[in-house]
Amino acid sequence: MRPGAARFTLEAGKARIHSKRRLRADLTLNASQQIILPQKNSASTSVSTKNTGTDRVIAISSAATLVIRGAAAACPMICFAFFMPEINHDLGFQRVNNPMFDSAPDPDLPAAATARPQPRALQQSPEFARALMACGQEPLTLDGTLVLRRRFPGGLKLAMVNRADLSSPAPLMSALRSDGLARTPLILSPESPAPHLARLGAVPLATPAHAALWDLTGDAEQRRAALHQKWRNRLKHGEAQNLRLTRQNLPHDVRHWLFQADAAQQTQRGYRSWPIGLTLAYTRENKGQAKLFQAFEGKEAVAAILILTHGSTATYHIAHTTARGKQLSAHPLLLWEAANWLAAKGICRLDLGLINTEDAPGLARFKLGTGAHLHRLGGTWGLWPPLGRLLRPLALLDRQQMA
């Protein structure tokens, strides 16, 4: 392990974090793997990014360092130009004494949720594309892959493919050429590790992050048994409180208390989430697929979670818990009941967002405490097709990190 790196080791069903700050956290997992996460004081080149709401540290690859230095002089906008911040997963029913959410068909939930199509990330869903178009963007769908485009002053064009299945990139590359994007710089962020992108001349820009994916295909008893003991204890505590849980479609109100609380939290923690306008556009263009779950003590809201559904998958979008809500364990209770309701409606997976054990260990414990699977993404790659062959040797410098 390189000097200054934080080591996240999963062994014998336990996960333990090792770092210079003597951080320790026990998490229940069902995997055996080792993850290398760079620290901010690591000797490797690194940057801290807040745009995902997880304060994660991204290690900039050796090859990317060389490319960025050269490209920045000619066009700084090429490097790390993202179109929209990723989903804010940084924040954070079926029973509270009596059943809270019925299991009858929801007229607002599309039938596609019960058809169980192949799960895909929100950033690759037609629902996301509709929201972008409602905000004036012009995304393309090529070979089943959502491609975002942006034009900068001076006529420079840039394209981005985020959380897409690039296990076989050849059809997408062909579709890009057919659509006149053969000479357009690309930012590629695969859903899974894709070291074979180096053969196309793609250069690694950032090492892979990890996401927490909660499997909802089992029954409630199986999900409860998979909870970490401390998470289960907090759930029991929340169930013992006199909380009232509600579910509704997100109101079209920019002044809703959840938006205000989230904006204040973004400012405090220094990250960026979706613009409120994009979230409301998603609600408007995808009827019934932005579900707001709230917990009340009397008439006071103490916790809220906004979940976006897309096909057979759901994404944990925005959440907030007040100080009183934390005392009442409202957040675990609300997430648990929301997950049970989603499962009853045919949703098979809940994406809890990125995991950062270095800067947000408490959030990592909370997400993985649900029994969610730790999924390794594919990192971030830069590809400029005209220079593909010339840049191919640079990708070999970081082949092991991106695998």
Is residue 2 predicted with pLDDT exceeding 70?
A: no
Is residue 396 predicted with pLDDT exceeding 90?
A: no
Q: Which of 71-85, 171-185, 190-204, 360-374 has the lowest mean pLDDT?
A: 71-85
Alpha carbon separation from 282 to 113, 126, 247, 349, 360 (Å, rounded): 17, 11, 18, 19, 28
If pLDDT is split at 50, 70 and 90, which confidence band does 393 have? low
Tell me the three-class secondary structure of 343-377, residue by residue: HHCCCCEEEEEEECCCCCHHHHHHHHCCCCEEEEC
Mean pLDDT of 173-197: 93
Q: Which amino acid is at 242?
A: N
Listed as own residue / partner, the contacts of 221-224 with beta carbons closer than 8 Å and 24 or more positions apart are 223/339, 223/340, 223/343, 223/371
**Each residue's pLDDT tens digit, 103-132:** 344 545 544 444 456 789 999 999 999 999
Confidence (pTM)? 0.72
Is 151 strand, coil or helix? strand
In a domain, 308, yes or no: yes
Is residue 13 predicted with pLDDT exceeding 90?
A: no
Highest average pLDDT, of 56-60, 85-89, 230-234, 381-385, comes from 230-234
In a domain, 218, yes or no: yes
Total number of domains in the chain: 1
What is the structure's pLDDT at 340? Answer: 97
If pLDDT is split at 50, 70 and 90, which confidence band does 394 have? low
Domain with 218, as residue range(s), is 95-119+211-375
In a domain, 251, yes or no: yes
In a domain, 157, yes or no: no
What is the structure's pLDDT at 273? Answer: 85
d(CA 215, CA 350): 7
**Each residue's pLDDT tens digit, 241-290:** 999 999 999 999 999 999 999 999 888 877 788 999 999 999 999 999 99
Q: Which of 27-31, 307-311, 369-373 has the lowest mean pLDDT?
A: 27-31
What is the structure's pLDDT at 398? Answer: 59
Mean pLDDT of the chain: 76
Mean pLDDT of 342-365: 92
What is the structure's pLDDT at 243? Answer: 97
* Cα dihedral 228→230→232→236 (10° resolution): 180
Q: Which of 105-109, 147-151, 193-197 has the lowest mean pLDDT?
A: 105-109
**Each residue's pLDDT tens digit, 39-66:** 333 333 333 333 333 333 344 444 444 4
If pLDDT is split at 50, 70 and 90, which confidence band does 84 have? very low
* CATH value at residue 215: 3.40.630.30
Beta pairing partners, 147: 140
Beta pairing partners, 151: 157
What is the structure's pLDDT at 119? Answer: 87
What is the structure's pLDDT at 347? Answer: 97
In a domain, 305, yes or no: yes
In a domain, 256, yes or no: yes
**Each residue's pLDDT tens digit, 290-300:** 999 999 999 99
d(CA 211, CA 170): 26
Mean pLDDT of 199-223: 93
If pLDDT is split at 50, 70 and 90, which confidence band does 185 have? very high
In a domain, 192, yes or no: no
In a domain, 126, yes or no: no
Mean pLDDT of 219-245: 96
